[in-house]
Structure 1
Amino acid sequence: MSPRRAAPIVHPNRAFSVGEAQRHGVSRQRLRAADFEKPFYGIRAATRPMSFLDDRCRDFLPRMPLGGVYSHVTAAGLYSMPLPSRLSGRTELHISVPSERRAVDAKGIIGHRTTLGHRDSDRRFGYLVTTPERTWCDLAAMLTLPELVAVGDKLIARRLPQCRKENLTGAVERHGPRRGVRNLRRAIDLLSDRAESPRESLLRVAIILAGLPAPTVNKSVFDASGRFLGRLDLSYPHLKLSMEYQGDHHRTDRVQWQRDIARTRALQAAGWTELQFTQADLDNPAGFIAQLRFILARLTH
């Protein structure tokens, strides 16, 4: 009597290697069927209507090398860190391995060799990912100083923080003399746990790097009778000067647009001057910096 064949894998709830499938008796012809995807070489997964980052990370696990950990842009995506479009739009997975091992070399993978301490990764997603602190340090080689601050602000934000500023400081100290460490050290002093949007952070850093006074972040303002007027993105309270970043939703959302106008009017009635900024100002900050410098000089003399 011939030995009983193992039941074939038809639609497993995880990705699997071709070798694993063949050991279960699945033929090569079956593995070429349309109901299986080929996310990476030598790997199959049940076809999905949409593929998310977590799905792609799980798909590669059958080929993940010993000591491998998702890092850099991939880890940032898993933590929902605000990356610039030049990075957030990429689909490759970043995988780091200990420096004594060979970097992963596969289609759709960007491999890194690095030193990983026991505090640099965890399994909060069900597989190894660099911690938010270590991820922030790794991103320093890819981001500008303002972009790095925007990510750091998001990590320590009072609303749903993922770590504390002290954790980031400790990670920078452990990071050592690697590429981007100078910006990391500068970024630590520029972080604010009161920031509520990446664009707001970019605007604040542009102002500070231009040598202008650091504005107050998200200050709540009330009129003389104690009525709440609003929470200002950035401001110089002693000058009653506020600065607001206006994203596209402020223009396209009718209710938001009407609310913005009413708030601006209320601030003006209370003696405030409001300056509004858009993405165009962030793309070319020299223009608005010159104007802001002139306004500050006028208000202080």
Structure 2
Amino acid sequence: MKAFLGSEAVAAGAVSRGRLGRRCRRIFPDVYLPADQPIPSLRDRIGGAWLWSHRRGVIAGVAASALHGACWVDDDTVVEMLLRNGRPPRGVIARNEAVADDEVMSVGRLPVTTPARTAFDMARHLPRGQALARLDALMWATPFAAERVLMLADRYPGARGLRQLREVIPLVDGGAASPKETWLRLLLIDAGFPVPTTQIPVHLNYHLFAMLDMGWEEFRVAAEYDGDQHRTDRREYVRGERRQRKLPQLGWLNVKVIAEDRPDEVIERVYRALRSRGWRGALTPRLHTRT
């Protein structure tokens, strides 16, 4: 951790107060980075937020998920902490919530909520779609037991957001490799399709040919989100096109989704693909808690 408390550094004689103001970067009240660290990383900001808390806070939420290895967390993400403080600085959220000893662990010498407690907090505090994307990313990086998260709901029966938590936790799938894949899966579930399986292997001559984002193996229908890298990387684009052309020969219908597609268009395309393969279910939109 490169962040340090300016008052401690001055008291120890490591730096003068004048040099501290001129040569170091202030990221939180009394928290600085060395002069050779002009742009703070997320880990710098997490460590700095903990120092600002006088080393009393417990890193939680999305910041905790990043420390547990979850991807898709930007450097400017707000740092959440379990801490009683009504006036946190910009870039920090302090939540005055109870936390038990068995819900805290050490990660890089910082007190951090366990994966289960991290999931408990994100499932309650984030909007539904964001919560599921963050939970999927955490599950991909550090698998946690849904039962343990629900046990925390029983431990804290008056906690905010438990209704959403109980709805979202059963939908968590560590097979989602990106937030957009989570978005697509949730769109299909909410539309009334059967819950798709993620990371479906497709073999050619006994070798793995493709790993499909999600789909229904019984009907050999898949749905995949086509990310921007397929447009900017020519080699990746060519590989993807050849893969897409080969899948029908292996018996698969693959519905590719891009950012410009409207949700209703996606639902209609998947519906037609499944019906063409014998699915006779009806689309009954899923009702959910709006937060």
What is the TM-score normalised by the length of structure 2?
A: 0.81
The answer to whether the 8 Å contact 2:116/2:145 transfers is: no
1:94 is paired with a residue whose SS is strand
In the alignment, does 2:197 pair up with 1:193?
A: no
The equivalent residue for 2:25 is 37
* Structure 2 counterpart of 1:55, one-letter code: D
Name the structure 2 match of 1:181: 162
Separation of aligned partners in 2, 1:217 and 1:14: 40
The code of the aligned residue for 1:122 comes to: M
d(CA) in 1 for partners of 2:90, 2:203: 57
Corresponding residue for residue 127 of structure 1: 110
Note if 1:139 corresponds to 2:128.
Answer: no
Instruction: Judge which range, 268-277 or 189-198, deviates more.
Output: 189-198
CA distance in 1, matches of 2:161, 2:252: 40
Matches of 2:202 and 2:58, distance apart in 1:
46
Asked which structure has the greater RCO (Cα within 8 Å, sep 6+), the reply is 2
Offset of 1:107 from its aligned partner? 4.3
Query: Equivalent residue for 2:57?
Result: 68
CA positional deviation for 1:90: 4.1
**Match of residue 136 from structure 2:** 153
Choose from 279, 283, 296 the match for 2:259: 279
Q: Gaps spanning 5+ residues in structure 2: where?
A: 281-291
Residue 210 of structure 1: CA displacement?
1.0
Q: Is the 8 A contact 1:218 1:231 kept in 2?
A: yes
**Aligned counterparts of 2:138 and 2:79: Cα–Cα separation in 1:** 21
* CA drift at 1:13: 6.1
| Equivalent residue number for residue 88 of structure 2 | 105
Structure 1 residue aligned with 2:82: 96
Residues 233-283 of structure 1: CA deviation (Å, up to 9, x unaligned)? 1122232222121101122212211211222222112232221012334xx
Conserved? CA contact 1:104–1:112, under 8 Å: no
Give the Å deviation of 1:80.
4.6
SS state at 2:27 partner? coil
SS at match of 2:194: coil
Residue from 9, 21, 25 that aligns with 2:10: 21
What is the aligned partner in structure 1 of residue 267 from structure 2?
289
Q: Which runs of 5+ in 1 are unaligned?
A: 1-11
**Letter of the structure 2 residue corresponding to residue 273 of structure 1:** L
CA–CA separation in structure 1 for the residues paired with 2:77 and 2:215: 38
Query: In the alignment, what sits opposite 1:219?
Result: 200
Report the equivalent of 1:81: 70
Question: Do the aligned residues in 2 keep the contact of 1:70 with 1:95 (CA within 8 Å)?
Answer: yes
Report how many residues are paired: 278
| Letter paired with 2:218 | H
Deviation (angstroms), 1:214 = 1.6
In 2, the alpha carbon distance for the partners of 1:254 and 1:66 equals: 48
Name the structure 2 match of 1:8.
none
- Shifted more, 189-198 versus 57-66: the winner is 57-66
Q: Are residues 1:242 and 2:231 paired?
A: no
Distance 1:92 1:103 in 2: 16
Distance 1:149 1:122 in 2: 23
Give CA deviations for 1:10-37 in whole Å, capped at 9, x if unaligned.
xx9651232651464854333333x222
Amino acid at match of 1:93: V
TM-score (norm 1): 0.79
Cα distance in 1 between the residues matched to 2:50 and 2:221: 53
Mapped contact 1:96–1:112 kept (Cα < 8 A): yes
CA distance in 1, matches of 2:42, 2:243: 39
Q: Residues 105 and 262 from structure 1, CA distance in 2 versus in 1: closer, same or farther, beyond 3 angstroms?
A: closer
Q: What is the percentage of aligned positions where both structures have the same residue?
A: 27
Q: Distance in 1 between matches of 2:42 and 2:26?
A: 15
User: Which protein shows a greater Rg?
Assistant: 1
